[in-house]
Amino acid sequence: MVGSELTNIRAPRVKAARRLAKRSFREQDRRFLAEGPQAVREALKLDGVTLELFATAEAEQRHADLVAQALAQGVPVHRASGEVMAELSQTVTPQGLLAICGFVHVPLETALAGGPKLVAVLAHVRDPGNAGTVMRAADAAGADAVVFTDASVDPYNGKCVRASAGSLFHLPVVIGSPVARAVHELKAAGLRVLAADGAGERTLDDVELDLPTAWIFGNEAWGLPEDVRALADEVVRVPIYGQAESLNLATAAAVCLYASARVQRVP
């Protein structure tokens, strides 16, 4: 049953949720915010991940199925006023539905235990929107895992969660692994490691992609540093056929991941 409406932005429950906008508090509480019906829907598919749900009266009616599902799972549902939802939301136009979720990432060893064939590695990626979009592309391409190295953005950042469009809840996500360790473990698991970078001598068209592959994607502004490129089995660039100087990170990642997925899935 949904309780009485929360109207005080200084209420302890509201303050406890609002603090999760900061990474230090997310790590301390091991909780994060998932905003919007798509994220909430995917979070509810995983047992025990959704810990609380906030909904405006309007959203409660519009997404009655999600509210009912949350209640059926024993998740506390709090009706929130528009002012309270605006305080909790990290978007200009709140969608009226927001969940508090427990962390879902897994150790690197767990992500690699099943013999993965396609993995995305984010090295020094700082923009949460790009990182979330890469997660979404990796999920769509059927990747087996996404690895956020220790110098990359927090995947539980609100913008990153929204940009993933629910993909954060679909595939194993690893966080905090040093690049060198991640590459070592990926190779030990039988994956060839390719670094996507404009400095590559060969293009995506010239590389055989039928082997299990881990793609390393670098920073939006400066790409991959030399020491990271040196860890890879090969540095590969995406060919540019037109006059554009380059592709942005998320687009380049989608191209590389789909190129591997297409070849790996051909009978």
What are the tens digits of pLDDT across the range 206-254?
A: 999 999 999 999 987 888 899 999 999 999 999 999 999 888 999 999 9
Do the beta carbons of residue 225 and residue 232 sit within 8 Å?
no
From the DSSP assignment, how many helices (H) and strands (E) are in the chain? 12, 11
Domains in the chain: boundaries: 12-102, 108-265
pLDDT of residue 177: 94
pLDDT one-digit tens code per residue, 184-206: 999 999 999 999 998 888 999 99
Residue 189 pLDDT:
96
Calculate the average pLDDT of the chain. Answer: 94
Q: Domain 12-102 maps to which CATH number in 3.30.1330.30, 3.90.550.10, 3.30.300.30, 3.40.309.10? A: 3.30.1330.30
φ/ψ (deg, to 5) at 89: -70, 150
- 99-103, 132-136, 226-230: the lowest-pLDDT one: 226-230
Tell me which DSSP letter residue 169 carries.
Answer: G
Architecture per CATH, domain 108-265, reads as 3-Layer(aba) Sandwich (3.40)
CA–CA dist 84, 267 (Å, integer) = 53
Percent of the chain with pLDDT over 90: 87
Q: What pLDDT, on a 0 to 100 scale, did the predictor assign at position 76?
A: 95
Other Cβ atoms closer than 10 A to 45: 12
Q: Which residues make beta-bridge pairs with 173?
A: 146
Of 233, 231, 239, whose CA–CA distance to 256 is shortest? 239
Instruction: Using pLDDT thresholds of 50, 70 and 90, give the confidence band for residue 34.
Output: very high
| Residue 17 near residue 33 (C-beta atoms within 8 A) | yes
Q: How far apart are CA 62 and CA 134, in angstroms?
A: 30
Cβ(97)–Cβ(37) below 8 Å:
yes
pLDDT at 17: 97
pLDDT at 73 over 90: yes
CA 89 from centre of chain? 18
Q: Is the pLDDT of residue 91 over 70?
A: yes
Q: Which amino acid is at 42?
A: E
Ordered strands of the 31-35 beta sheet:
31-35, 97-102, 50-55, 77-79
Q: pTM to 2 decimals?
A: 0.93
According to DSSP, residue 168 is labeled G
Confidence check: pLDDT of 138 > 90: yes
- The stretch 153-169 carries a mean pLDDT of 96
Share of the chain above pLDDT 70, in %: 99
Is the pLDDT confidence value at 150 over 80?
yes
- What pLDDT sits at residue 245? 85
Per-residue pLDDT at 54 exceeds 70: yes
Q: Is the pLDDT confidence value at 173 over 90?
A: yes
Beta strands in 25-171 (DSSP E): 31-35, 50-55, 77-79, 97-102, 118-122, 145-149
pLDDT given at position 2: 72
